[in-house]
Structure 1
Amino acid sequence: MGSDHFVRITRLRALIDHENTGAGERATAERMLDRLLRKTADHAASGAAPDRVYGSRHHRAGRHASTASIVESVREDIAFARTFVAAGAPGEVTVHSPLAAAPAELTVAVTTPFADQIVVTITDIPPAWGWEPDEFDRITATEDLRRFADELAEIIDSYNHDGADVGPRFFRTIRAQETTLIR
């Protein structure tokens, strides 16, 4: 890991831990830190073996957490992300969240039909926002709906683990109405 990543990680952790950091700013800093740690694959800092990959929120649910308790954490993260609005001052970089930018009438249901599977179903999708015809006149998901699904997958994957000596903690599926977007 380069020294510039170390400095960014240190600054983000200091911002997260500072008592005067607002809730919105703390949440943004936590997401940035999660993404940075995931991108740099800094497993040594988390104590992980080099042949295992742990999601950035794996520790929050607990090592032996049930899939049902992980689903509750995922629901809370999605609810927060849908209501989070980063109000920036002029000249500041604004944070774009596909979850917060999505239409309010969207419904997101997170279920666990089996002990090792998490299924997210997106319903009440406005047709103009979520669906468009492709070059063969088939109805497909828009880029906005795909980004929304990708963000949901990122939240879920942050609670998972995988590796050479251990399989994934659970499998996930993201559906938009009757269409599977991500497996």
Structure 2
Amino acid sequence: MTTTTAQPPRTRMTDEKRAPSSRAMKKVWMLENLIFHPRTGGEERAAAERMLDRAIAAAQKQGQVVRKDGGSHGTWHGYRLPDVRYGARYEEVKHLSTTEIAKRIRADIKLARKVEAKLGTATGSEVALTDSLTALATMPKQIKVSVRTDYFSGGSAIRVNVYNLPEKGWGYVQERDMWGEPRWEPGPELKAILAALKEIHGAYNFDGSDSMVDYYHVNYYGQVEVDWRERP
């Protein structure tokens, strides 16, 4: 028989009927309204809970919420291991399978597109360039995002692919490398979309790797990539 530790009930940080003037705290307010609404479904509430922690972290960076940090390290065959960096939601999923984590990532992406659309309407699409999650609402509707799992002998991976870009080369701009040679890089719009997806993808992971000595220690592998193929 397995047992679980009951989590303390979440308490509101904002006034239900009064929207904060700060954009960072306004996101917290909107998510709390969704979480505490009696008609919000179970899956949507769970996804909103996960998104709320990221919104609070954003408010922390702006000094609006007090933050406490910690770290950990150890040794491996006489080599001092690097500090392990934990995603914001790792503790919640550390006993779950990669398949179950991928399901949460899909729910987070779906909710981000839904909730951030309201913020985008209220504040203007230009915020997509400064607030990565808002980019998931402002990106063209035809763009599709897939979340796939992959299991192999060395572990597992969650791969997030972006499909159906409006046209070949959409979102890319030409820049020059350190030798002056031209190269194509994601522009501001596409870069914001990829940053938002990477943030969600990493929220349930941990990383204590050191590529200099080929030491890799993660909860799951994977990446966020653009795929030029079209999907129905």
Say yes or no: does 1:100 pair with 2:137.
yes
Matched pairs, number:
160
Matched with 1:73 is: 104
Instruction: Could you tell me which runs of 5 or more consecutive residues in structure 2 were left unpaired when the two chains were aligned.
Output: 1-9, 18-31, 37-44, 74-82, 176-180, 210-214
Counterpart Cα distance in 1 of 2:35 and 2:182? 42
Instruction: Could you tell me which runs of 5 or more consecutive residues in structure 1 were left unpaired when the two chains were aligned.
Output: 1-11
Structure with greater Cα Rg: 2
Matched with 2:55 is: 32
* Pairing 1:40-79 to 2, within 5 Å after superposition: 42-44=68-70, 49=72, 51-61=83-93, 63-79=94-110
Letter in 1 for 2:160: V
Counterpart Cα distance in 1 of 2:11 and 2:52? 8
Q: TM-score, normalised by structure 1?
A: 0.67
Q: Are the counterparts in 2 of residues 38 and 55 from structure 1 also a CA contact under 8 Å?
A: no
Counterpart Cα distance in 2 of 1:157 and 1:22? 25
Q: Are the counterparts in 2 of residues 74 and 156 from structure 1 also a CA contact under 8 Å?
A: yes
Matched with 1:8 is: none
Q: TM-score, normalised by structure 2?
A: 0.54
Matched with 1:131 is: 171
SS class of match (2:160): strand
Say yes or no: does 1:154 pair with 2:199.
yes
Which gives a bigger RCO, structure 1 or 2 (Cα 8 Å, sep 6+)? Answer: 1
Q: Are the counterparts in 2 of residues 162 and 169 from structure 1 also a CA contact under 8 Å?
A: yes
| Change in 2 beyond 3 A, CA 1:129/1:143 | farther
SS class of match (2:146): strand
CA offset digits 1:104-135 (Å, max 9, x no partner) = 11100000122521111111111288334525
Say yes or no: does 1:15 pair with 2:47.
no
Percent identical: 23
